[in-house]
Structure 1
Amino acid sequence: MDWDKLRIFHAVADAGSLTHAGDVLHLSQSAVSRQIRALEESLGTTLFHRHARGLILTEQGELLFDATSSMARKLETTSARIRDSEEHVFGELKVTTTVGFGTLWLVPRLSKLYSRYPDLKIDLLLEERVLDLPMREADVAIRMKEPQQSDLVRRRLLNIRMQLFATRAYLDAAGVPDRVEDLSPHRLICQQPSTPQVSAGAVLSHMLLSHNVSSTLMVNNYFGVLQAVLAGVGIGVLPDYLTADFPDLIRVLPDIESVEVPVFLAFPEELRQSRRVTAFRDFVLEEIQTYRRKQVESDAIRETVD
C-alpha cells in the first residue's frame, strides 16, 4: 500500500470530512478525494459511505482505520522515544572484542554501565575474528590493532604488553626464575602460538617455548590461562591489563615482555550521533582512566613488596 494514501485516509477517517482532512493536511478537497478514490481502487473496495452529513466508514474502512490508528500510535511513541533519546539511552548495541579482553576486562565492568543505562541491551560478540563494522556485523569494536577501514571513527584506548605472571604460592614452591633459561623446570601456560591471537603474544610464547620448557599447558584464550595461573599450575603469559584487577599476580622475569600492542575502539561513521554508541564509548574511556590509576597503584605496591 502507498503510505501517503494511508496517511490521507487516516486523516479523512479521523475528521469524517474531506474538507476538514484537507485543512489538516494542507491539501485541496479535490486532491484528498482523488487519493481516497485511488486507494479504494487499489484495494478493490469501498472505504466510506458518503452522505450529506459527511463520511462514514464501511466495514472494510473500519478495518483499515484500526490498522492506521495502530500505526499512528506506534509512530507517535517512536517519535517521542527519539526525542527522549537525547537524554535516555536504550535499545540494542552490538559490541565485538577479543575473548581475553572481553571476559577479563570488559564484562566485569558492565554492571556499572547497566546501572547507568538499565534499558540498554548489549549483544557482546567475543572472538578473535575481526568483524566488518561498515557492513554492520557489529556496532562497536574494541580490537588489539588499529582498524584499517577509512570510514570508521577510531579512538586509541591504551597500549598493552604480554608479560609473565605467577602467584606467590607457586613461586615460593617452585622457585623464582632469574633468566629466561631458568624457565626450563617450570610449567609454562600460554596460548598455542598457531592459534588466532594478538601476534605479539604469539611471538612471545614462541620465543619462550624455544627454551626447552619441560612442561606446558596450552589454552586457547587468556581467560583459561589466567585461571590456571591463579590455581598455581605454573607461570603464564598474560596481558598486563590484568594487573590492576588481580593485584596478587607476581610479575616474573620483568625484562621479558612482548612488543607494545595498541587497543582501539572503533565504530562506523554513520553511528557518530548514536546515543547508545556515545554512551558506551564514554563509559569505556572513563573505565580506562580508572584502570590506569589502579594500575599505577598496583605497580607501586608490587615495587614496595619486592
Structure 2
Amino acid sequence: MDWDKLRIFHAVADAGSLTHAGDTLHLSQSAVSRQIRALEDSLGTTLFHRHARGLILTEQGELLFEATSSMARKLDSASARIRDSEENVFGELKVTTTVGFGTLWLAPRLVKLYEKFPDLRIDLMLKERVLDLPMREADVAIRMKEPSQSDLIRRRLLNIRMRLYASPDYLAHRGTPETLADLTKHRLICQKPDQPQVAAGARLVQELMAQNVGSTLTVNNYFGVLQAVLANLGIGVLPDYLTADNPELVRVLPDTESGEVPVFLAYPEELRQTRRVAVFRDFVLEEIQAYRRAQTEAGLL
C-alpha cells in the first residue's frame, strides 16, 4: 500500500472530515478525496460511509485505522528516541495522575526537573479516570493502584494511607478528639464516599460518617480538603504524603486510618528507551527517596 495514501487516510479517519483533514495536511478537499478513492480502489473495498454530517468508518475502514494508529504511535516513539540525546532532553511528555497527588505532591516538585531540563514540555493531566497508556492517551502515569495492562513497565513508588489531620489553631479552639465518638463535636472535611477516589479512602469516610458527625464539609478532591483544614474549618481526611510539605498538620486519632494504598509509576514498553520518560522516572524516584528520608527523620515511617 502507498504510505502517502495511508497517511491521508489516517488524517481523514481521525478528523472525520475531508475538509478538516485537508486543513491539517495542507491539501485541498478534492486532493484528499482523490487519494481516498484511489486507496479504496487499490484495496477493493469501501473505507468510509458518507453522510451529510461527515464520514464514518466502515468495518474495513476501522481495521485499517487500527493499523495506521499503531503505525503512528510507533513512528512518534521512534521520532522521540531519535530526537532525544544524553545532553538535550526536549519535547512534550504527557503525564497523568490523580488530582490530589498531582496538585499536592508532584507539581510543587517539578521546578527541580525543569531546572535540569528547561526545554522539556510537560502536559500534566490530573484526572481520577485512568487514561489508556498503550493507546497513548498519556506517556507516563502515577496511579493509586497497580496498572492492569500487561504491556506496561511499572514501578511501585510507595504506600500511602488516608488519615485524620487538623490545624493547631482549630484544635486549640475546639479541642482534640480522643475517641471516634468525640467526632460528634467536630466538623469532618472529606470527599463523599461515592466520589471518584481510592477505595480505601472511601471506606474510611464511610466509617467516619457512621459516627454521627456533628457537621461536615465535602469537597471533590484532596486539594480542597487540605485548604479547608488549613483554614481551621475542621478535621480532614487526607493522604499521609501531605505531611512532608505541611509539617504544621496535626494528626488526630492516630489509631484511625485507611488500609494501605500502593502508588505505581507506569509507562508503555515502547517508551522504555525514550529519554524524556527516563529523566522523568529518575526524577520521581529521587523525590520519593528524599520524601522517605524526610519521613524517617521525622519519625513518621
Partner residue, 2:201: 201
**Aligned residue number for residue 264 of structure 1:** 264
Q: Please, what TM-score do these two structures have when normalized by structure 1?
A: 0.71
Cα distance in 1, alignment partners of residues 84 and 285 from structure 2: 24
Per-residue Cα deviation, 1:114-156 (whole angstroms, up to 9, x for no partner) = 0010000000000100000000000000000000000000000
Correspondence for 2:181? 181
Return the alpha-carbon distance in structure 2 between the equivalents of residues 115 and 93 of structure 1: 16
Deviations 1:182-204 (A, max 9, x none): 11110000001100011111000
CA distance in 2, matches of 1:276, 1:185: 51
1:144-183 alignment runs, 5 A limit: 144-183=144-183
**What displacement does 1:88 show?**
1.5
CA distance in 2, matches of 1:165, 1:88: 43
Structure 2: distance between partners of 1:94 and 1:84 = 16
Letter in 2 for 1:92: E
Quick check: 2:140–2:277 contact (8 Å CA) kept in 1?
yes
Where 1:294 maps in the other structure, the secondary structure is: helix
CA distance in structure 1 between the aligned counterparts of 2:211 and 2:238, rounded to whole angstroms: 18
Distance 1:91 1:175, change over 3 A: same
Return the alpha-carbon distance in structure 2 between the equivalents of residues 166 and 182 of structure 1. Answer: 14
The alpha-carbon deviation at position 84 of structure 1 amounts to 6.0
Q: 1:179 to 1:90 in 2, by over 3 A?
A: same
Distance 1:173 1:84, change over 3 A: closer
Residue 27 of structure 1 aligns with which residue? none
- 2:209 matches 1:248: no
Q: Secondary structure at the match of 2:267?
A: strand
Match of 2:88 in 1: 88
Structure 2: which amino acid aligns with 1:177? P
1:275 aligned residue = 275
Given that 1:243 and 1:298 are in contact with CA atoms closer than 8 Å, whether structure 2 keeps it comes out as no
Q: Which has the larger radius of gyration?
A: 1
Alpha-carbon distance change, 203 to 83 in structure 1, aligned in 2, over 3 angstroms: closer
Query: Residue 139 of structure 2 corresponds to which residue in structure 1?
Result: 139
CA contact (8 A) 1:161 1:239 kept: yes
Q: Is the 8 A contact 1:247 1:298 kept in 2?
A: no
- Please give the alpha-carbon distance, in whole angstroms, between the structure 2 residues aligned to 1:162 and 1:298: 18
1:118 corresponds in structure 2 to 118
Q: What does residue 284 of structure 1 align with?
A: 284
Q: CA deviation at 1:87?
A: 2.6
Change (3 A) 1:189 1:83: closer
Q: Secondary structure at the match of 1:184?
A: helix
Q: Which runs of 5+ in 2 are unaligned?
A: 4-77
- What is the aligned-residue RMSD (CA, Å)? 2.1
Does the 8 A contact of 1:98 with 1:127 survive in 2?
yes
Task: State the number of aligned residues.
Answer: 227
Identity %: 74
Amino acid at match of 1:149: Q
1:170 CA displacement: 0.6
Contact in 2 for aligned 1:157/1:264 (Cα 8 Å): yes
Amino acid at match of 1:192: K
Q: Which runs of 4+ in 1 moved over 3 A?
A: 81-84
Q: By how many angstroms is 1:85 displaced?
A: 1.5
Distance 1:197 1:143 in 2: 11
- The DSSP-based 3-state class of the residue aligned with 1:85 is coil
Between the aligned partners of 1:231 and 1:298, the Cα distance in structure 2 is 24
Tell me the TM-score normalised to structure 2 length: 0.72
Contact 1:156 1:263 in 2 (8 A): yes
Aligned-partner Cα distance in 2 for 1:164–1:230: 13
Contact 1:85–1:275, Cα closer than 8 Å, also in 2: yes
Q: What's the CA shift string for 1:213-251, capped at 9, x where partnerless?
A: 010000000000000000100000000001111100000
Match of 1:156, as an amino acid?
Answer: R
1:127–1:83 Cα change, 3 Å: closer
